[in-house]
Amino acid sequence: MTKLALITGASRGLGYALAEALAPRHHIVAVARTVGGLEDLDDRIKARGGEATLAPMDITIRDAMAHLCRSIHDRWGPAPVALWAHCAIHAAPLTPVPHMDARDWQKSLATNVDALAHLIPFVAPLLAAEAQALFFDDRQGGQKFFGHYGSTKAAQIALAQSWQAETARTGPRVHILTPRPMATATRARFFPGEDRDTLASPEDEALRLLASLA
């Protein structure tokens, strides 16, 4: 049976690196809005002898995600996903709380919280009891200027932690992982003057985090 790895947020950063690292042993289902990033990922996976199915979709569109998950079931059968890594995130601009923009707040909620509330119910039936679901913490909640991102990211992780507690005996195995600070576009938006040479690469973090699951 084909082992699938579903990566939501696969077009760049940690999601891209995880997809590439998993490709030798999994068929990758790569979900992201950025078509160019997905096509580049597909080229790299094929160069390593792997295979990918690209899904250029917006995870905030509930019906699109329902269709995707149904299509995975129809193509590969019941519970075909061995690993789901949820890496999609919206990083709104840093701003004082009184100056938060309503559109940025709604987009942060839609991507970072609301999307997970429908993704878990849709993806869960695709996961066998021994499958793994990965979520990635970034503890900026309560930090100054991180009102949009920190609050919604903390809510996302709280939702994942509830699912983790609920599935502790039955599976799938839900992991809340904390990557080291990485040289990604998201971090560059938050810390534009930071020395990127001091940061981990997404590729190295992908390998480290996957190794920690063993």
* pLDDT at residue 2 tops 90: no
Q: What are the start-end ranges of the E strands in 51-194?
A: 52-56, 81-86, 127-136, 173-177
Distance, CA of 70 to CA of 75 (rounded, Å): 9
Beta bridge partners of 81: 4, 127
* pLDDT at residue 1 tops 70: no
Q: Which residue has the tokens 């042993």?
A: 25
Distance, CA of 7 to CA of 126 (rounded, Å): 13
* pLDDT at residue 214 tops 80: no
Q: What is the pTM assigned to this prediction?
A: 0.96
Distance, CA of 155 to CA of 133 (rounded, Å): 17
**H or E, element range at 109:** helix 102-109
Domain locations along the chain: 4-211
- Percent of the chain beyond pLDDT 70? 99
Beta bridge partners of 8: 31, 86
Segment 109-133 shows an average pLDDT of: 97
* pLDDT at residue 70 tops 80: yes
As given in the structure block, the two tokens for residue 52 are 């990918």
Q: Does the domain made of 4-211 have the CATH classification 3.40.50.300?
A: no
